[in-house]
Chains A and B, each alone.
Chain A
Amino acid sequence: MIRDFVYLGPSCLKEALTFLSEYKDKCKIIGGGQSLLILMRQGLVSPEYLIDIKHLKELNHINFDSKEGLKIGATTTHRAIEKSSLIKEHFPVLIKMEQNLASIQTRNWGTIGGNLAHADPAGDPGPVLIALNATVKIANKDRERTMPIEEFFLDYFETALEEGELLLEIQIPVTPPKTATVYEKFNIIKNEQAIVSVAASITLDNNGLNCTDARIVLGAAAPIPKRVKEAEQMLVGQKLNDGLLDQVCKKASEEAEPVADIHATEEYRRYLAQVLTKKMVKNAWKQAEVSA
């Protein structure tokens, strides 16, 4: 049962931030509420005040600039991202990720900001955005700050957002040349949550031979979307070969910190991390070779 609360519909971002600073831990932000309302119904969250930012135009945008890269407002719906021609052109991996994220109904109403702030370790955007080297813009009523999205996730359902702070925007830098990013999740029923997911981003030198940068991120295999940095390092400076791939994906599964639940044992999750890492690194590499 959802407990009663005071509903606050700020008319602008400034007012929203003022409410936040005023009600602190007594309040919660609601975007699309696709996760929050379920928690509230289960009585896991029962705020006294609910601040609705869903309708704030200032936070609902998708912009691309060849220097600054992509900027997605926090209340942009998943569906808007999925349908954006800008994103399709510059970050197709986000489209594929969105197409397999929950149901169309949920994507129609749910927001990217809400998804990230919920910080579900099995969430899809986290790993991809980390692989894309994204940063997030955060603000309270007095100041703004940005941080790599990698540092945004602290623990299960816990983020770096401090009291009074709001997630405003996701910023994705322009993709370096000879770079490709891919993502895949393993699940039994399509569009449901990942049992394990892997995002990989590979950058090659100008001749498309050696790896100059690699980012590999595991989803649902740790308390947070987890970069497997040792595995990444093994790739840097190397040429693609099966022996290397085997070592890399083994390392990735060693770096994973999965837990068992009713959907999979810890061992199986580790194993999936290995299988998917191999597949993703290979795919990213192949795409990077042919990319501009």
Chain B
Amino acid sequence: MGRTSRERSLGAMLAGEIRTALGNPPDLVCRTVITDEGRAVQCIYLESLIDKRCIDEFIVDSIRRNAFAEEPATPGDPFMRELPLQALRGTIRDEASRAVVAGQCVLIDEAKERICLVDTFDAPGRQVEEPKTEPTIRGSFEGFTENIRINIGLVRKRIQSRRLRFEKMAIGSRSRTVVMIVWMDGLAPQTLVQEMRRRLAAIRTDSVLESSYIEEYIQGRILSPFPTLLNTERPDKMAAHLLEGKVAVMVDGTPFVLIAPLTFFELFSSAEDYYQRADIATFIRWIRLISFFVAVFAPSLFVAATTFHQELIPTELLISLSAQREGVPMPAFLEVMLMEIVFEIIREAGLRMPRAVGQALSIVGAIVLGQAAVEAGLISAAVVIVVAVTGITNFVVPVYSFGMSQRLLRFTFILLAGFMGLFGVLCGALLLIAHLVSLKSFGVPYMTPFAPAYKADWQDVLVRAPRPWMDPNRLPASIRRLKRH
């Protein structure tokens, strides 16, 4: 009698302790189920984090049927753990409360002196939708979600291989975010996986709310405008990279997956290249390369040509430019700078606007503003054209984060051109190249396969060779390089 009372009090006490540990939350449910044998089993969970059907249909009636009593939980089973009640009170309480917060259901079987932690996690979230940032005309329309379990499913669905490896980590002292390292065993070089493990383990932070948190910690060089990790929300893209022997990092709570290593020219290839005819893909890839150069250099070259090296401009064009500039107060450098900044502002505004207004505003704003400025004689028409062209070319690049870095580069180049003309642009370009060739992403030179040169790989960089011509088993140079060392 006393014994039972003490145990009942024990179970109740534990429940109470969990309740106090969580600060008596409104969504904490603590119900008692009576088994067929008449024993009372305490069942504690957060109703906001669990699958109600699972509790009602599976847990409760298996308790009734006394299932837990019969087969004890196998150790190391993530879905059902079991603690002896004799263990230290403190540890039990911590374990139990942590389990409850992690969306598990705590069962306290007083008679059998056991505590079972059953995983019944089911958080609210959105379903699989089309990726917003990387839409394609042809190819799968599935994008990652915020729920890492769904995301894992999306990847597994594409690579049904026994060699697909997932490694779980919890990062963030407070948020305890689930982070997964994903790679293909045998394809991905071990050094790369270990390096990724090392860098992730080295992270000291309290919370990880988006994969960019992780990116900032594990990227090679901090002071660089170029991304050294690829981020995507397309399962097919991630699968393709995994099959090239790269390593991906999935973060719970965000649809964006990080992929390493990343080389410069991969920034110009989008998933769609591989869903299209080879010739078209090649053409588009070249368009992207060209538009990169235009986006970075066009305004600076314009400034250099119009303020330092006018002899470059053909006579007729020079005359008409000169006529346009009659009565324009600002020097060309300031004109371009101003228009670029205005354009960036409009773009940002268009981004933040509700989608309905957004695009209209950005386009109309740009046109109207440019028009008005020219009419008012504040800006010469040529500048508006140049800025518009660069603004458009900027959006051609498939990786958004890379587009941002292009903008930074553009402004620096305009500055240099404004101060030193072509010589300044040359210095900037040399500095840029020096930076690019010295940059490394997880030990892979950023400019592979050009510097260092791997001629065999140019067929997938300069052109997109038809698949039958390419050796399906050859990994990209970056991975081969890592495997060699």
Query: Are A and B genuine complex partners?
Result: no
Q: Which residues of A contact B (CB under 8 A)?
A: none
Q: Which residues of B contact A (CB under 8 A)?
A: none
